[in-house]
Amino acid sequence: SSLAPGIASWRKPLFEDVAGDIAVSFEFFPPKTEKMEQTLWESVKTLEPLAPRFVSVTYGAGGSTRERTHNTVARIAQETSLAPAAHLTCVEASRGEIDEVARAYWDAGVRHIVALRGDPPELGRPFAPHPQGYASAAALVEGLKRIAPFEISVAAYPEVHPEAVSKQSDLDNLKRKIDAGADRAITQFFFSPESYFRFRDEAAAAGIGAEIVPGILPVSNVAQTRKFAAACGAGIPPWMDRLFEGLDNLPAARQLIAATVAAELCGQLYAGGVRNFHFYTLNRAELAYAICHLLGLRPKADQQEQAA
């Protein structure tokens, strides 16, 4: 052949065929300080033109952020065009208390809850339900549906939740959550497209018809991610450590690598048919924005101008 050596391993650019036909959502956490609040709002404003399906706000361990989650969600509802989703957990609260929080959301016009069991405030302790509380996310979904016709998202684990007795029991649990009325599952972060595709197939085989949206975590600090991953049953591949070697003092290089790795993952998911993505933004807009852009997504106003 006249092909140059090495051409056999050439592949066409991952983003050559993107058509902008994706839908995204963004996850934020409630800010603790004024400075963090400013960063959050700048990020929300930067991402808003991408017209996400929803933006969600997490709920701290043991309900520690109840007020802050509520205030952040309420402000998004009031000051932006975005549809906010409030995370809510079962930890250290009675059913009555949780129901009250949910009713307050409904009354404030919030129509979407990300329903979770949650983890005990001290890392590593086993979960023990409140004596009058909801014992699992599935029970919480049932409870929420009794209160109002919320749109509900739940958590899913491509690499199996660490407390699950087996992979099958974890899938059965996801099915219970969907059967109880959840509209979609959002996955824990993962770094290999195979683990997502396998999980998607297994869920379909288990009769789970709801969409399973991959949760994408752009990693720019591998040590921090490792701590978190250990607690939540996500694997960090050895190559990821190698990519960040020696870059502790080079934050811009780390950002570039974070974007490259996450964009590669999203590109492969896209090539495998995925069109909905959920981004764990850590309240920073740039990485999520850049990845959405690579996947062909453009600000809504630009699209309207082009159509006109």
Residues that bind ligand FAD (CB under 6 A): 58-59, 61, 87, 89, 114, 116-119, 136-138, 155, 161, 163-165, 169-170, 173, 177, 186, 188, 215, 232
Query: How far is it, in rounded angstroms, from Cα 216 to Cα 274?
Result: 12
Residue 202 or 256 with smaller CB distance to ligand FAD: 202
Known catalytic residues?
27
Residue 25 or 220 with smaller CB distance to ligand FAD: 25
Residue 14 or 61 with smaller CB distance to ligand FAD: 61
Q: How far is the CB of 153 from ligand FAD (least distance, A)?
A: 7
The terminus-to-terminus CA distance of the chain in angstroms comes to 49
Residue 24 or 137 with smaller CB distance to ligand FAD: 137
Q: How far is the CB of 87 from ligand FAD (least distance, A)?
A: 3
Residue 110 or 257 with smaller CB distance to ligand FAD: 110
Query: How far is it, in rounded angstroms, from Cα 125 to Cα 133?
Result: 18
Q: How far is the CB of 200 from ligand FAD (least distance, A)?
A: 15
Q: How far is the CB of 268 from ligand FAD (least distance, A)?
A: 20
Instruction: Give the DSSP per-residue string, 197-229.
Output: HHHHHHHHHTT--SEEEPEE---S-HHHHHHHH
Q: How far is the CB of 293 from ligand FAD (least distance, A)?
A: 23
3-state secondary structure of 67: helix
Q: Which two tokens stand for residue 275?
A: 């069109």
Q: Which two tokens stand for residue 100?
A: 């009250």
Q: Which two tokens stand for residue 54?
A: 């929803």
Query: How far is it, in rounded angstroms, from Cα 126 to Cα 291?
Result: 36
Helix (H) or strand (E) holding 2: none
DSSP E strands, the chain: 23-28, 54-57, 84-88, 112-115, 151-156, 184-187, 211-213, 215-216, 276-280
